[in-house]
Structure 1
Amino acid sequence: MAYASLLSLNQTLDQILHPYDQTEQQHIIMRSLHEKVSFLLSFLDVSSPQNSDKLRGLEGRIRDAAYEAEDIIEYHMSNQILSESGSHEDRTESHMTSNQIVSEWYQKFGRLQKIIQEIHSISDEVVKMRERNEIQVLQPSNSSSKSRSTNKGKSVMVGLAHNLMEIKKLLAKPLSILVVVSIVGIGGIGKTTLARTIYNDSLIASDFDIRAWVTVSQEYREQEVLKGLLNSLRGLNHESGEESIEKSAENVFKILKDKRYLIILDDVWEIEPWNQVKSLFPDNNNRSRIILTTRRSRVAELASHLWNRYHMESLDNRHGWKLLRERVFGEERCPPQFNDIGKMILLNCEGLPLAVVLIGGLLYKSEKTVSYWHYVLSNISVITDRKFFILDSVSFIYSQLPHHLRACFLYMGVVPEDYEIRRSKLTKLWVANRFIKPDRSKSLEEVAEEYLKDLVDRNLILVREWSYSGEIKTCSIHDILRDFCLMKAEEEKFSLDVEYLPEVHENLRQVSILTDLKNQIPRLALTHDRDLRIRSVTFFFRNSPNDIHFITNFRLLRVLDALTIRFEEFPVETLELVNLRYIALTYWMKHRFPASIAKLCNLETLIINPGKFRSIFNTSFLPPEIWKMSRLRHLLFVRSYLPYPTDALKGETFVPLENLQTLGNVINFRWTKEVLDMMPNLKKLVISYEHDGRTEWSSYFFDNFVHLHQLEVLKCFFFAKCYIKYQDPLPVNFAFPQKLKRLTLSGCRISWKNMTVLGSLFNLEVLKLKFHAFEGPVWELNDGEFRRLKLLLIHMTDLEHWKVNETHLPSLQRLSLRYCYNLVEIPSEIGDIPTLEEIELCECSTSLVTSAQVIQKEQESLGNYGFQVVLKHEDTDISS
């Protein structure tokens, strides 16, 4: 963690070296420290991974010194902020007076000077090592900069084709009864890859009315499994409402009753989870199927009949070599000089697909020289226990990672086993934890996404879901890699999984809480010296708000992710944590924010989730002081009123929110030029408008959207007050910026003839038209429109006839039509679009369904069996 600690300290020094309350001597010392930290960062940036053994001891010294220096500096900064944030009368006992702050700073400054001397000493050692040529410098490599993670990351099935055919045979047995198929094999053999390939197979999917996937995992909790099943069955991609175990079980059974279903229960470790859920799966006597993956033969024996168990074997040498070549060279030919050494490396992978793809990811991203491949071979050796072989290999692969990726990778150990985390959330957390090195030409989030793609290319992070625009939506980590992350993070004093509450290490930075804290609070009463070190706390268990008051002891906390905890009001005690950069909370009562939220002057991300009550009664009311928080990057709510800046502050000082990239969902907001100037870098915007029948649409300045030059995602919802049957249509001069990639419109009631406004958006890839967004009986596309559109959703419309030909929508991959009762048919020309993969229909006319099925038969006659028509009976959202 040497690099991560230096990077964080460097950003803190960048902040403190701006106009700040320091003496000239202190400023000189801080400037000198900043120079040394920058030097060490640059050194690690160019240091070859082959130096890892020589630098191990030095990196430990760097980490400890950088952490301690930052603790002292940030503790002093937080004291100053708390002292300045309130008047003399309302200061609490925890706030220090100015004299006390100065006095304590001078005491700490003496210790800081000793730490600075240590950092200078380390820098001198580095210089001497370089002079003696003991350190190899990283050589530029073309392969390390390229990325192939944008290729929708289809599962590698090399060597698994035979397995796939055997499982398909088991599923296709002419038995009308419910059949449970067990896939058995050791960790890393490819069980999940095989199951996911089957689950996503279009022909298999078309054979079932409904499908669901849930990961059980070693850390099994019945309620979490039931919730996962319900979310998958309902097609939800957000946190569902709270339900009891009994209610959840009842709902699962009701959904599956009378339907032909395919259920995947992935990673089952014990028979108890199966025994608890098997009664939820009705035998409808219609050839429903369940696939269960497990490492343990005993589980398969108790869950399946002998003839429905499939034991996976290791890859043979031929398929293993093909997989390794594909991982390293893609579709390019393997140069002959790598054949012999490559096959020797393969032998050490013991036929495990996971080991092959991990080593392949390393070789793909590293320099393509025979000498380096020999170096890799010498550092991976066959160990009898395959799990420890993989862990040993991962340890070596980790040592070969560029320094800037190490903290990001180890952070994946913070999330629970088999947990899918959204890309947008993960990158925000990396930024808040200061794992990302600033780049003047890019935003921190853009750099974070590059780091993520790099780790995906190395096969260290798995992509679980891709968007139709080719972006990563959710990702996870293999449980064997997570085991490594936990062990390495504990060794590095980096993170702690509070499942069993082991001893807290000095310098611990990240805490992940996966358990009920009710009876364990005393063990979390950390000492004053230790509590300064915690920078991130993430809850994955539904603890009570009364059980987390210990959080306020962590004075330097940067990240508080408490979405699993249901608060009845905003926890004002968190406003004392002025170092917070990321806060995510759930509460469902009166969503009024205290004006004192402005005390969180470092806050970058604020996320509020109303939990199960997602209605008009869960509206957030932001205080005017929000316009004083210049560091804000992401503001996310389900519904919120954002006061207009000049109206709210009435002459008080407010600052442009130049860092703001995400804003949503705000209600009835006016987009004047004054506001546009305040948010010049907005990339994602979600807005809602309630029409009262009196306000003119023009007063909201929708035509100004075109001036949001960085905007890539826009969601606009328009709806009438309950006493108005129909609101007025939006004005035709509705305009959009050219960078827009994803657009959702609802309730606009614009004529189809004005669709050219959208068709001319050159970068538009996802378009969702909901609840009469456009109206009229006929929509006729024009040539040259929607050249890059990949997903089109039309939900609830009076459209009757749709005129399109094969030259229109040339990039379309998915068409979704819902509640289109009047639409007579889908034009047959839609089937001629070469990129089209799926037509999804929900509650549409019989003639429309028939036209879609005709298109499918035509495509099958042409050999296009990958194309499918999906009929849904319940409406589920398509996330872009």
Structure 2
Amino acid sequence: MGVFEEDDSVRVSTLVKLWVSEGFLRPMNGKSLETIAIEFLRDLVDRNLILVGKVGKTGNIKFVKIHDLLRDLCLNQSKKDGFYHVIGQSSPRGISSQRRVVVPRNAPKKKVLDDLQSMPRARSIISECGRVPRIKNSRLLRTLQAYPYFEDKRYVIKSLAQYVNLRHLAVEVGSISSIFTSFTRLWNLHILILCCWKVFTAPAEIWRMPQLRHIEMTGVRFYLPEPSSDDVVVMENLLVLKGIANFRCSEEVVKRIPNIKKLKIQYFGRGGIEQDDDYCVNNIRHLCKLESLYVRRHYGFIASLSVLTFPQSLKKLNLDMYGDFEWEKILEKIGALPLLEKFKLWEGCFGTGKWEMVEGQFPSLKHLQLFACPNLKQWTAESSSIFPRLEKLHLSDMRQLKEIPTQIGDIPTLQKISMKDCGESAVMCAKEIVEEQVELQGEDLPFHVQVWVQRKNEALVQNLAGPNFEVYALQY
């Protein structure tokens, strides 16, 4: 924790990946290293050694902080033990023997260059400023974390040939071809996070790297080639695959990633006429350990993806379907998922203008977000038992929506309804839900409603404001 800047909110996923790549964790009781890391983190939180910075919609810790006094203790102990060296600070043991190097955000460029050249035994470099010059004896390097960046935008790697022991690589690069030309040498790589603003395709050798646990690509487009049927490597350790363009979930791919938990994919038009079955998205249901799925359909992509199917293990689902994608074709399948806790639905359309819910759907859902579905006008429920575990409902840019199910107010777990830039009729419906519950339970309700409206409409709904109904003006 001491390697991060003072008062920083530290992303838990970044911390966990560093723990894994540094080799601090050991397998235990058949659990993944990531699961073990989260258990240790929660133990530190329970002991009040680590502070919770932000909790996700379903209760998972997303960011943590460390008290200034405890951070000082980390820094002092690291100096005493020679655990890591912060560039710009003194080191009682000298810097030549240091194995872990931290580059703070405001480190002078010349100081970074001079210090790193004096550290022939460096195993880990964690940079908060994005600047990491090439160092001597880089064959020893196991961790290179220079992303996300703050000042400089790119850590340009000319070749990875010398980084043969690298386990953790998280950088932004100018040219992706220079990364992949020597990719076959990185047999020890566990974490691969790359940001590149050019379209690129990974080499086929990526399917022969069984140590990989996390692949994440951001920037423009990252294409993943299909594995060859001649290869027999099963990537049992791979848990996260993010940023894949036009992902084809063939039977061969399903066999190669049996333990995948998080999958983030995007579909772009390629000038032809795509069909639903071109990408085998119905095979996603065979990823039986998948817990989190994000699918985005961009402008120009012709296929509707209406044949999407989902594994019963899914807990989080984020669907962003540009254009004329009809949600009626897929909502019944989504509502039947027994473990789904978080569901975000973006754009697309409702061909009938209605969403009619039936009893038994979404049994575990805690967080629901609807965003920019322009022709959804009526949202009704035929049963009083809907969303039995719902905690938060967020509606954004739903200007045509006239009503929301009044049964939502009866949900015992409900904590919050949030509405941004929605139609006046839907806002009035939310107000009626609050008034009805006030009559039944009194003003001390377990939930409240927050409404954001355009400034020109603020006066129309401001008189609705009350103890459980808050009205705000949008700033744009």
CA distance in 2 between partners of 1:438 and 1:618 (Å): 38
Aligned to 1:364: none
Contact persistence 1:592–1:622 (CA under 8 A): no
CA distance in 2 between partners of 1:522 and 1:704 (Å): 49
Contact persistence 1:604–1:634 (CA under 8 A): yes
Q: Which runs of 5+ in 1 are unaligned?
A: 1-411, 611-616, 875-880
CA distance in 1 between partners of 2:199 and 2:361 (Å): 38
Query: Could you say if the C-alpha distance between residues 425 and 860 of structure 1 is closer, same or farther in structure 2, counting changes exceeding 3 Å?
Result: farther
Contact persistence 2:194–2:216 (CA under 8 A): yes
Query: Could you say if the C-alpha distance between residues 823 and 508 of structure 1 is closer, same or farther in structure 2, counting changes exceeding 3 Å?
Result: same
Q: How does 1:263-278 map to 2 (within 5 A)?
A: none
SS of structure 1 residue aligned to 2:166: coil
Q: How does 1:53-72 map to 2 (within 5 A)?
A: none
Contact persistence 1:427–1:449 (CA under 8 A): yes
CA distance in 2 between partners of 1:590 and 1:491 (Å): 40
CA distance in 2 between partners of 1:757 and 1:420 (Å): 37
Aligned to 2:320: 746
Q: How does 1:109-148 map to 2 (within 5 A)?
A: none
Contact persistence 1:671–1:701 (CA under 8 A): yes
Alignment counterpart, residue 125 of structure 2, candidates 522, 531, 537: 537
- The reply on whether 1:729 has 2:304 as its aligned counterpart is yes
CA-CA distance at 1:841 after TM superposition? 1.6
Alignment-mate amino acid for residue 576 of structure 1: Q
CA distance in 2 between partners of 1:598 and 1:708 (Å): 27
Alignment-mate amino acid for residue 518 of structure 1: K
Contact persistence 1:687–1:716 (CA under 8 A): yes
Alignment counterpart, residue 623 of structure 1, candidates 195, 198, 203: 203
Aligned to 1:595: 181
CA distance in 2 between partners of 1:521 and 1:688 (Å): 38
Alignment counterpart, residue 558 of structure 1, candidates 135, 142, 147: 142
Superposed CA deviations along residues 50-91 of structure 1, whole A, max 9, x for unmatched, are: xxxxxxxxxxxxxxxxxxxxxxxxxxxxxxxxxxxxxxxxxx
SS of structure 1 residue aligned to 2:52: strand
CA distance in 2 between partners of 1:591 and 1:418 (Å): 37
CA distance in 2 between partners of 1:698 and 1:525 (Å): 51
Aligned to 1:549: 134
Aligned to 1:766: 342
Aligned to 2:260: 682
Query: Could you say if the C-alpha distance between residues 774 and 440 of structure 1 is closer, same or farther in structure 2, counting changes exceeding 3 Å?
Result: farther
Alignment counterpart, residue 22 of structure 2, candidates 423, 426, 433: 433
Alignment counterpart, residue 460 of structure 1, candidates 33, 49, 52: 49
How many positions carry a matched residue from both structures?
A: 441
Superposed CA deviations along residues 241-292 of structure 1, whole A, max 9, x for unmatched, are: xxxxxxxxxxxxxxxxxxxxxxxxxxxxxxxxxxxxxxxxxxxxxxxxxxxx
Q: How does 1:850-865 map to 2 (within 5 A)?
A: 850-860=428-438, 862-865=442-445
CA distance in 1 between partners of 2:162 and 2:452 (Å): 49
Alignment-mate amino acid for residue 642 of structure 1: L
Query: Could you say if the C-alpha distance between residues 571 and 753 of structure 1 is closer, same or farther in structure 2, counting changes exceeding 3 Å?
Result: closer
CA-CA distance at 1:498 after TM superposition? 2.0
CA distance in 2 between partners of 1:596 and 1:711 (Å): 31
- The reply on whether 1:583 has 2:169 as its aligned counterpart is yes
Alignment-mate amino acid for residue 595 of structure 1: T
Alignment counterpart, residue 643 of structure 1, candidates 225, 231, 251: 225
- The reply on whether 1:790 has 2:370 as its aligned counterpart is no
Alignment-mate amino acid for residue 516 of structure 1: A
CA-CA distance at 1:774 after TM superposition? 5.4
Alignment-mate amino acid for residue 757 of structure 1: K
Alignment-mate amino acid for residue 608 of structure 1: L
Stretch deviating more after TM superposition (554-563 or 865-874): 865-874
Aligned to 2:157: 571
Query: Could you say if the C-alpha distance between residues 655 and 595 of structure 1 is closer, same or farther in structure 2, counting changes exceeding 3 Å?
Result: farther
By relative contact order (CA 8 Å, sep 6+), the higher-ranking structure is 1
Query: Could you say if the C-alpha distance between residues 520 and 674 of structure 1 is closer, same or farther in structure 2, counting changes exceeding 3 Å?
Result: same
SS of structure 2 residue aligned to 1:520: helix
- The reply on whether 1:524 has 2:115 as its aligned counterpart is yes
CA distance in 1 between partners of 2:426 and 2:160 (Å): 55
CA-CA distance at 1:643 after TM superposition? 1.2
Please state which structure has a larger fraction of its residues in strand: 2
Query: Could you say if the C-alpha distance between residues 773 and 753 of structure 1 is closer, same or farther in structure 2, counting changes exceeding 3 Å?
Result: same
Contact persistence 2:274–2:303 (CA under 8 A): no
SS of structure 2 residue aligned to 1:491: helix
Aligned-residue sequence identity (percent) comes to 35
Alignment counterpart, residue 242 of structure 2, candidates 657, 664, 676: 664
CA-CA distance at 1:848 after TM superposition? 1.2
CA-CA distance at 1:508 after TM superposition? 3.3
Alignment-mate amino acid for residue 281 of structure 2: F
Contact persistence 2:250–2:283 (CA under 8 A): yes
CA-CA distance at 1:730 after TM superposition? 2.9
CA-CA distance at 1:672 after TM superposition? 1.3
Contact persistence 1:838–1:868 (CA under 8 A): yes
Aligned to 2:467: none
- In the superposition, the TM-score normalised over structure 2's length comes to 0.86
- The reply on whether 1:717 has 2:307 as its aligned counterpart is no
- The reply on whether 1:417 has 2:6 as its aligned counterpart is yes
Alignment counterpart, residue 478 of structure 1, candidates 42, 67, 72: 67
CA-CA distance at 1:866 after TM superposition? 5.0
CA-CA distance at 1:746 after TM superposition? 1.7
Query: Could you say if the C-alpha distance between residues 665 and 686 of structure 1 is closer, same or farther in structure 2, counting changes exceeding 3 Å?
Result: same
Superposed CA deviations along residues 618-652 of structure 1, whole A, max 9, x for unmatched, are: 43431222122221110001231111122xxx96x
CA distance in 2 between partners of 1:583 and 1:622 (Å): 15
SS of structure 1 residue aligned to 2:26: coil
Superposed CA deviations along residues 312-371 of structure 1, whole A, max 9, x for unmatched, are: xxxxxxxxxxxxxxxxxxxxxxxxxxxxxxxxxxxxxxxxxxxxxxxxxxxxxxxxxxxx
CA distance in 2 between partners of 1:609 and 1:871 (Å): 37
Aligned to 2:279: 700
Aligned to 1:809: 387
Alignment counterpart, residue 509 of structure 1, candidates 85, 99, 121: 99
Alignment-mate amino acid for residue 630 of structure 1: P
Alignment-mate amino acid for residue 717 of structure 1: R
CA-CA distance at 1:439 after TM superposition? 2.1
CA distance in 2 between partners of 1:802 and 1:700 (Å): 32
Query: Could you say if the C-alpha distance between residues 655 and 827 of structure 1 is closer, same or farther in structure 2, counting changes exceeding 3 Å?
Result: same
Contact persistence 1:535–1:557 (CA under 8 A): yes
Alignment counterpart, residue 443 of structure 1, candidates 20, 25, 32: 32
CA-CA distance at 1:609 after TM superposition? 2.8
Contact persistence 2:267–2:297 (CA under 8 A): yes
CA-CA distance at 1:573 after TM superposition? 3.8
Please state which structure has a larger fraction of its residues in helix: 1
Alignment-mate amino acid for residue 643 of structure 1: P
Stretch deviating more after TM superposition (579-588 or 859-868): 859-868
Aligned to 1:609: 195
Contact persistence 1:813–1:835 (CA under 8 A): yes
Contact persistence 1:569–1:589 (CA under 8 A): no
Contact persistence 1:593–1:621 (CA under 8 A): no
CA distance in 1 between partners of 2:378 and 2:289 (Å): 35
Query: Could you say if the C-alpha distance between residues 573 and 728 of structure 1 is closer, same or farther in structure 2, counting changes exceeding 3 Å?
Result: closer
Alignment-mate amino acid for residue 623 of structure 1: P
Contact persistence 1:587–1:608 (CA under 8 A): yes
Q: Which runs of 5+ in 2 are unaligned?
A: 455-476
Query: Could you say if the C-alpha distance between residues 628 and 567 of structure 1 is closer, same or farther in structure 2, counting changes exceeding 3 Å?
Result: farther
CA-CA distance at 1:465 after TM superposition? 0.9
Superposed CA deviations along residues 567-610 of structure 1, whole A, max 9, x for unmatched, are: 65750344411111111112356677423122111111111235
Alignment-mate amino acid for residue 587 of structure 1: V
- In the superposition, the TM-score normalised over structure 1's length comes to 0.48
Contact persistence 1:644–1:669 (CA under 8 A): no
CA-CA distance at 1:830 after TM superposition? 1.2
Measured on the aligned residues, the alpha-carbon RMSD in Å equals: 2.5
Query: Could you say if the C-alpha distance between residues 719 and 506 of structure 1 is closer, same or farther in structure 2, counting changes exceeding 3 Å?
Result: closer
